[in-house]
Amino acid sequence: MNMPVDTAYSDLLEMQDARAFLKRALEVRYRKKGKINLADFSRRAGFSSRSFLSEYLAGKKGLSRESVGQLKTALKLPKPYLDLFSLLVGKDQPELLSRKLTLEDIDKQVGSIKVSVARQTEALSQIKDPSRLISKPTLFRVFAALGTEEEGASLHEIATRANMPLENVHESLQFLLNEGAITTQNGRYYVRSSQIDFLKLSDSASLADLTRTLCSQIRTDANEIAADSKNYLFYTAFSLQSHQLPEFKEKLRDAIFGVLDQYQDDRGDCVHEVFLCSRT
């Protein structure tokens, strides 16, 4: 039997403005306590004024770029929902958008997000046990090498793109097939959606397990990684104002996602892994 998909945040896709979106997101966040705690959330978001959020939700105040970043960090929603929130904020306050967009442009992007999330939700609903996929990090490489939903990829194409032995790829494909994450026809393998949130990003325990596994792999291959002239590695330590930390992390994450969105090509001929770890 397939596991039911958590749809707690699904109605956020139907919100027409940023205030309604934020209020609903807070209702879901505090649903177990039965009442929204604005003071608690304001503290978590790093706002010095405990009345700021209530004034914003009442339409008495607007947001700044910094406060938008703080809200997005504190909400801890998957990226598509955070992107939707940014677009809805931009409808009310166009000056906060990173680039100029017309209302028509915003509506198109909102529509694209809704379609993408719907596909991911449908794809995830077909998977028997998403948590099992996280136990095998190599599955992510194979999944990334599967090509577009329409074209799919052959066993040899996947092995070449993922730079993995055929037998390992075949084993991973069988696992993905058994779990219902992919389909196959005429010797080709197809994804149900080009992006699936296997981790359900709000699940910190799953992320922690995957981080430990990946860190272990990085330690094992540390010499090889550092010696490869094509790898761009750096380490930096620097100081900043503590109240700017949420904004800094949000901008850094947005920058990385922006580069990934720019270069990701499901028809590409290789798979590249990016691992970023931030510690305060």
Q: Are residues 65 and 154 in the same domain?
A: no
pLDDT at site 126: 81
pLDDT < 50 regions, the chain: 1-6, 201
Print the domain residue range for 259.
126-280
Co-location of 270 and 161 in the same domain: yes
Structure tokens belonging to residue 93: 């306050």
Q: For position 203, what pLDDT does the model report?
A: 65
* Last residue of one domain, picked from the residues 124, 142, 176: 124
* β-bridge mates for residue 154, sequence order: 188
**Coil, strand or helix: which one is 112?**
helix
pLDDT at position 145:
94
**Is residue 154 domain-shared with residue 192, that is, in the same domain?**
yes
Report the number of distinct structural domains present in the chain.
Answer: 2
Same domain, 166 and 97: no
Q: Is residue 1 part of a domain?
A: no
Give the contacts of 162 (CB within 8 A, at least 6 positions apart). Answer: 141, 142, 144, 145, 169, 271
Q: Are residues 175 and 99 in the same domain?
A: no
pLDDT at 231: 81
End-of-domain residue from the set 124, 148, 182? 124
Evaluate whether residue 94 is within a structural domain. yes
User: Dihedral of CA 24/25/28/31: which sign?
Assistant: negative
CATH of the domain at 143: 1.10.10.10
* Residue 200: per-residue pLDDT: 57
Give the integer Cα–Cα distance in Å for 29 and 237: 33
Residues 140 and 213 grouped into a single domain: yes
Query: 205: buried, middle or exposed (CB in 10 Å: 19+, 13-18, 0-12)?
Result: exposed
Are residues 165 and 197 both part of a single domain?
A: yes
Q: Are residues 59 and 192 in the same domain?
A: no
Same-domain pairing of 160 and 119:
no
Task: Please report the pLDDT score of residue 227 as a whole number.
Answer: 86
Contact 109, 116 (CB under 8 A): no
Give the model's pLDDT for residue 198.
59
User: Do 181 and 56 reside in the same domain of the chain?
Assistant: no
pTM (whole model) above 0.75: no
- Kindly state whether residues 155 and 274 are assigned to the same domain: yes
Could you tell me if 248 and 131 lie in one domain? Answer: yes
pLDDT of residue 91: 92
